[in-house]
A and B are shown apart, each in its own frame.
Chain A
Amino acid sequence: MTWDANLHVGVTTLAEPGAAPASATRELSYLEAIRDALRYELRRDPSVLLMGEDIGVYGGAFKVTQGLIEEFGEQRVIDTPMAELAMLYAAIGMSFQGFRPVVEMQFADFISTGFDAIVQFAATNHYRWGQPVPITIRAPGAGGLRAGPFHSQCNEAWFVHTPGLKVVAPATPADARGLLLSAIRDPNPVIYYETKYLYRSLKGPVPEGEAGLVPIGRAALRREGEELSIITYGAMLHEALNAAAGLEQAGHSVEVLDLRTLKPLDEQAILATARKTGKVLIVHEANRTCGVGGEVAALIAEHAFAYLDGPITRVAGPDTPVPYSPPLEDAHRPRAETILAAARQLLAY
């Protein structure tokens, strides 16, 4: 039992639109899909190892790594001291000697403790002296779980701004698995933002084996439409899809683009949807200022200006820490209703 378990009141089951269910898929929760990817890579590649606080014997604060130390042993599933900075530096050192470490930050919030290792060292080695750094940093982020300012952060923009890093943020179980496989195999440092809110609240079909590989840098069109594009990622995808369904009932045709990778952005997909509908609503849970949405908006303004029929609009968390008390957190975290209101305004423009 984890502390968040009873907060998941309902479970959404996702049907992957467009994707014909291959014979080899299973119905997995978002959390199970992450674990499945870790197990698959540990079995496939002896150079893969896991490191983190409480990930071995205890199975992880959220039980993502449960059962893995039993299968792979303490040489490959390593419980560490509570020292994110040393852990990340050590992961880089291990990667210099042929390992592909996957490091779990217990919460994405704690990644700041290891900041130097990521932005100063991991991100720059290849540019400076040609040395690849194939490490994956799992960052369980975002809110909605009443976890307060230090267990709810969406801090992905810190790393999207840093040359040399890749940043992914899967929103579905299939992508949670597929992007983690790609992250582990990538020769660069990849920050993998997994959304705690979706761990147990979301289930969906997940391919097996190599079929499920999701390339880094490719967005996914989750819903096609004509009048408005919602561009989003992470848990907000599901809020956006709910909003789009509501708008459809009101007779509007709305497209939803799931970025999936935040660095490098899929510029082609972003510009294609902006040019198609001419109205763009960007939605993210992270706070607004200098968030990923700002970059997406600038990209569209630079390259698709002539196609726009309304102001590029952002729905984002306000520029505050993520508050604890339910009414405050609900006011902080965008939901389908917030998105609907902004979308109606933009549609009427």
Chain B
Amino acid sequence: MELPAELLTRAHYWMRLTRALDERGTFLHKQSKIVGGYFSQIGHEALSVAAGMALGPDDVAAPMHRDLGTYLVRGLHPQRILAQFLGRVGGVSRGRDANLHGMGDLSLGLIGFISHLPASTGVIAGVAHAFKLKAEPRVAMAFFGDGGASQGLAHEALNWASVFQLPMVVICENNQYAYSTPLARQMHIEHIADRAAAYGMPGVIVDGNDFCAVYQAASEAVARARAGAGPTLIECKTMRMRGHAIHDNMAYVPPELLASWAQRDPIARMEALLRDRGLLDDAALTALLAQIEAELDAAQAAAEASPYPDGATVTEGVYAV
């Protein structure tokens, strides 16, 4: 099925914004304006944007640190994200949490991520469970990876979702490496999606670098969940094109593997498709990139104008009152 031009153009914008913001963060880290760790998601733009776009405005997502695109699509403004990266009061966590961790805002249907993957699967099972108990036609979507798939919680949460037939979609980003650990040390099967059969739910395998494939699979799973037909596990095959975090030179990844995945860059593929369909030319791309840089310049300026939190407030907010 051919996706509508307007949807592809919108997706292209989000994918380009995601990459530009990711690169802006890397740049700010090199300038020592962002301190501590920093996580790049380059290579994940198609799947994070597609999965995010498959959701409706009232749905809820629990993205992780490679899903910058999902945060943007859900409406989290780059200014708040950059202020978060910079540790400022204007950041999503007001300086409390680092980089992409803790970027939660339920008014945007976003749950703040923790390092303990795949926490997203468990908490999203609860959100989906709430939707079912309240008979609301809403869907909850969790993101986790090939490393998180080895954790017991992934099993517990998928089993839970299936037992209660919850309106839940689980996106597994199989990006070949968990930090330095390759897939072969993570599991003795080829496809994580094969495990779905053990839970009695559909398991779908898609090319995670193909926006259209992910969007279609995610949309079908979302529709299925919304119709009360239960959860779906979607495995997106992709590649983490940078190190685990910015300090990691990923010398453990064979260069030919990276080179082969570079040929499948999700943005290049999206742009080839758009050009094929007459929706993009050089002039339009140049204009779009300039527009995005201007948006990010403004966002960065506003983020840097936001103050650092006052050390005297360190104990504030531990408890809700």
Q: Specify which chain A residues have a CB less than 8 angstroms from the CB of B123 in the assembled complex.
A: 89-90, 92-93, 96, 121
Q: Specify which chain A residues have a CB less than 8 angstroms from the CB of B116 in the assembled complex.
A: 116, 120-121
Cα separation A187 to B115 with both chains bound (whole Å): 24
A167 to chain B, nearest CB (A): 13
Within 8 A of A (CB), among B76-113: 92-94, 96-97, 101-106, 111-112
Q: Specify which chain B residues have a CB less than 8 angstroms from the CB of A221 in the assembled complex.
A: none
Assess A127 versus B125: contact at CB under 8 Å? Given A83-B160, A86-B160, A89-B157: no
Q: Is A349 an interface residue (CB 8 A)?
A: no
Q: Specify which chain B residues have a CB less than 8 angstroms from the CB of A98 in the assembled complex.
A: 130, 134
Assess A94 versus B112: contact at CB under 8 Å? Given A127-B96, A129-B93: no
- Does the CB pair A127–B130 fall under 8 Å? no
Q: Specify which chain B residues have a CB less than 8 angstroms from the CB of A2 in the assembled complex.
A: none
Q: Is B1 an interface residue (CB 8 A)?
A: no
Within 8 A of A (CB), among B148-172: 152-153, 156-157, 159-160, 163
Q: Specify which chain A residues have a CB less than 8 angstroms from the CB of B94 in the assembled complex.
A: 130
Q: Specify which chain B residues have a CB less than 8 angstroms from the CB of A164 in the assembled complex.
A: 318-319
Q: Is A97 an interface residue (CB 8 A)?
A: yes
**Contacts between chains A and B (CB distance < 8 A), count:** 133
Cα separation A134 to B133 with both chains bound (whole Å): 18
- Does the CB pair B133–A99 fall under 8 Å? yes
Assess A188 versus B320: contact at CB under 8 Å? Given A96-B123, A117-B122, A129-B103: yes
A166 to chain B, nearest CB (A): 8
- Does the CB pair B96–A90 fall under 8 Å? no
- Does the CB pair B127–A97 fall under 8 Å? yes
- Does the CB pair A94–B126 fall under 8 Å? yes
- The count of residues in chain A whose C-beta lies closer than 8 Å to any C-beta of chain B is 40
Assess A96 versus B93: contact at CB under 8 Å? Given A117-B119, A121-B119, A126-B319: no
Assess A188 versus B119: contact at CB under 8 Å? Given A93-B128, A97-B127: no
Q: Is A85 an interface residue (CB 8 A)?
A: yes
Q: Is A25 an interface residue (CB 8 A)?
A: no
Assess A92 versus B126: contact at CB under 8 Å? Given A49-B133, A83-B159: yes
A57 to chain B, nearest CB (A): 15
Q: Is A23 an interface residue (CB 8 A)?
A: no
B164 to chain A, nearest CB (A): 8
- Does the CB pair B106–A131 fall under 8 Å? yes
Q: Which of B60, B124, B128, B319 has the most CB of A within 10 A?
A: B319
Cα separation A91 to B92 with both chains bound (whole Å): 24
Which chain B residue has the least Cβ–Cβ distance from A130?
B317
Q: Specify which chain B residues have a CB less than 8 angstroms from the CB of A85 in the assembled complex.
A: 122, 152-153, 156
Q: Which of B94, B121, B125 has the most CB of A within 10 A?
A: B125
Assess A96 versus B319: contact at CB under 8 Å? Given A89-B153, A120-B119, A129-B97: no
- The count of residues in chain B whose C-beta lies closer than 8 Å to any C-beta of chain A is 44
Q: Specify which chain B residues have a CB less than 8 angstroms from the CB of A99 in the assembled complex.
A: 130, 133
Q: Specify which chain B residues have a CB less than 8 angstroms from the CB of A130 in the assembled complex.
A: 94, 317
Selected contact of B105 from candidates A90, A92, A129, A166, CB within 8 Å: A129
Q: Specify which chain A residues have a CB less than 8 angstroms from the CB of B257 in the assembled complex.
A: none
Q: Is B211 an interface residue (CB 8 A)?
A: no
Cα separation A125 to B97 with both chains bound (whole Å): 10
A113 to chain B, nearest CB (A): 9
B153 to chain A, nearest CB (A): 5
- Does the CB pair A187–B321 fall under 8 Å? yes
Which chain B residue has the least Cβ–Cβ distance from A95?
B126
- Does the CB pair A126–B320 fall under 8 Å? yes
Q: Mark A119-149, 1 if CB is under 8 A from B, else 0.
A: 0110011111111111000000000000000
Cα separation A54 to B3 with both chains bound (whole Å): 48
Cα separation A80 to B157 with both chains bound (whole Å): 12
Q: Specify which chain A residues have a CB less than 8 angstroms from the CB of B127 in the assembled complex.
A: 93-94, 96-97
B234 to chain A, nearest CB (A): 20
Q: Specify which chain A residues have a CB less than 8 angstroms from the CB of B122 in the assembled complex.
A: 85-86, 88-90, 92-93, 117
Q: Which of B115, B122, B131 has the most CB of A within 10 A?
A: B122
Q: Specify which chain B residues have a CB less than 8 angstroms from the CB of A117 in the assembled complex.
A: 119, 122
Q: Mark A149-172, 1 if CB is under 8 A from B, else 0.
A: 000000000000001101000000
Binding site for A on B (CB under 8 A): 60, 92-94, 96-97, 101-106, 111-112, 114-116, 119, 121-131, 133-134, 140, 152-153, 156-157, 159-160, 163, 317-321
- A-B contacts, 16 of them at CB < 8 A, read A85-B122, A85-B156, A89-B126, A89-B157, A90-B157, A94-B129, A96-B126, A96-B127, A96-B130, A99-B130, A120-B115, A121-B123, A128-B97, A128-B101, A129-B112, A164-B318
Besides A89-B126, A90-B129, A92-B123, 14 other A-B contacts (C-beta < 8 A) = A75-B133, A83-B156, A86-B122, A92-B126, A93-B125, A94-B130, A96-B60, A96-B127, A97-B60, A97-B130, A97-B134, A98-B130, A116-B153, A117-B122
